[in-house]
Amino acid sequence: MADKRDYYEVLGVSRDVPADELKKAYRKLAVKYHPDKNPDDKTAEAKFKEVGEAYDVLSDEQKRAAYDRYGHAAFAGGMGGPGAGGGGGFHDPFDIFREVFSGGGGGIFEQFFGGGGGGGGRRRDGPQRGSDLRYGMEITLEEAAHGMEREIEYERSASCKTCSGSGSASGGGGKKTCRTCGGVGQVISSRGFFQIQQTCPDCSGSGEVISDPCRNCHGTGRSKERTKVRVKVPAGIEDGSRLRSTGNGDLGVKNGPAGDLYIAIQIKPHEIFEREGNDLHCDIPLSFGVAALGGEITVPTMEGKASVKVPSGTQNGTTFRLRSKGMKILGEDRHGDLYVHVQIAVPTKLNAEQREKLEDFAKSLGEQTSPMEESFFEKAKKFFR
């Protein structure tokens, strides 16, 4: 998987690209690299397969969520990635091209030659699902540890209030048959020896146009509005996770079902703790006296404070493990651990009395060495032999 390019990079889109723009980018590249247009071009054939594989993953809601979180590793070891059985993905790269020109049904000949006899085509006047939306939410490590609720505000397409979603200024009575396609929703144009059947540009495949379009939505039946949604973030959530708010995306065309709203979670860096999975790490300064003589120190945790017993002779870098003082494990009634790393604080300013006592102490030690020093000198002896 190391040689695989990022799927978003392959399709030339951003990571928050909506479904319709993703499809446009895919179609453009599929046509560009199709083997029929690039005969005997192995590079184009490879790119054609790469584009198809990328679109197979990113066009599938569940696969895309897994890829956003784990990258190519999400499909390692037969986890249902591109071409995996039962996943509804494309198995044959040439089927991808048939999909490009069919719009999800039929084949390439149906588009180029009218298909189905008579060139009548299909009317796509039914409801269509709305686009999914993405919202970025930044939270603190404390909020991730304990969970929280927050109201967010964003803009989405909703039913036009002026025309009640009809698209007509008169409330739905202004529809008439499209003159361009004669009501069939498709138009046929000749290009040399070919006849190409396409969706009617004037009615977008519905076969009807509105004679008195609403001034607010321009006949679409949808308009932008500010919407507020309350989002519940579960305790233990990880950085980069996505939450789905069903039905809070854009309203579909012709009152089709709304898409979903995806909330992308980003956790702010913490001043004290560093997170590693469900465990937390922190560095704690320890005075020279306590390190040498032993004692008890107070350390911060996500639940408050905790006491740690420090044995005499504690060395710099020693780690103490506090069980179940880390992050809550998502969906479970358990916690990770907290690792406290000791950093011995050496005084930088000494008065005359302190310096004298410290010098006397150093003299009293004589040639005495610590276990750390003994280990180092043994290694050094081997190095200089």
Q: Is residue 137 part of a domain?
A: no
Residue 92 burial class via C-beta count within 10 angstroms: exposed 0-12, middle 13-18, buried 19 and up: exposed
Q: How confident is the model at residue 179 (pLDDT cuts 50, 70, 90)?
A: confident
Q: Contact at 8 Å (CB) between 224 and 218?
A: no
| Domain interval for residue 13 | 1-105
CA 207 vs. chain centroid, Å, equals 38
Which CATH number do you get for residue 39? 1.10.287.110
Average pLDDT of 360-372?
Answer: 68
- The dihedral region occupied by 179, where left means phi > 0, alpha psi between -120 and 50, and beta the remainder, is alpha
Rg of the Cα atoms in the chain:
33
Q: Contact at 8 Å (CB) between 308 and 320?
A: yes
Q: Is residue 260 part of a domain?
A: no
Residue after which a domain boundary falls, among 51, 74, 105: 105
Q: Is residue 151 part of a domain?
A: no
Closest residue by Cα to residue 1 from 91, 93, 74, 103: 74
Residue 266 burial class via C-beta count within 10 angstroms: exposed 0-12, middle 13-18, buried 19 and up: exposed
Q: Which two tokens stand for residue 149?
A: 């609720």
Q: Is residue 279 part of a domain?
A: yes
The per-residue pLDDT for 234 is 96
Each residue's pLDDT tens digit, 338-356: 999 999 988 888 888 888 8
Does the pTM surpass 0.75? The reply is no
Residue after which a domain boundary falls, among 74, 105, 136: 105
Q: Is residue 362 part of a domain?
A: yes
Q: E strands of 76-193, at which residues?
A: 133-139, 148-159, 175-177, 186-191
Q: Is residue 278 part of a domain?
A: yes
Number of domains, the chain: 2
Each residue's pLDDT tens digit, 242-293: 999 999 999 988 778 999 999 999 999 999 999 999 999 999 999 888 998 9
The per-residue pLDDT for 194 is 64
Residue after which a domain boundary falls, among 66, 82, 105: 105
Q: Which two tokens stand for residue 159?
A: 């039913």
| DSSP assignment of 273-297 | -EEETTEEEEEEEEEHHHHHH-EEE
Which CATH number do you get for residue 303? 2.60.260.20
List Cα–Cα distances, 364 to 83, 238, 307, 358, 368, in angstroms.
74, 53, 33, 10, 9
In 10 A of CB 26, how many CB atoms? 24
> Is 282 assigned to a binding site?
no
> Is 160 assigned to a binding site?
yes
Q: Contact at 8 Å (CB) between 341 and 355?
A: no
Q: Is residue 188 part of a domain?
A: no
Q: Is residue 376 part of a domain?
A: yes
Each residue's pLDDT tens digit, 37-48: 888 888 988 898
Residue type, 160: C
The per-residue pLDDT for 93 is 42
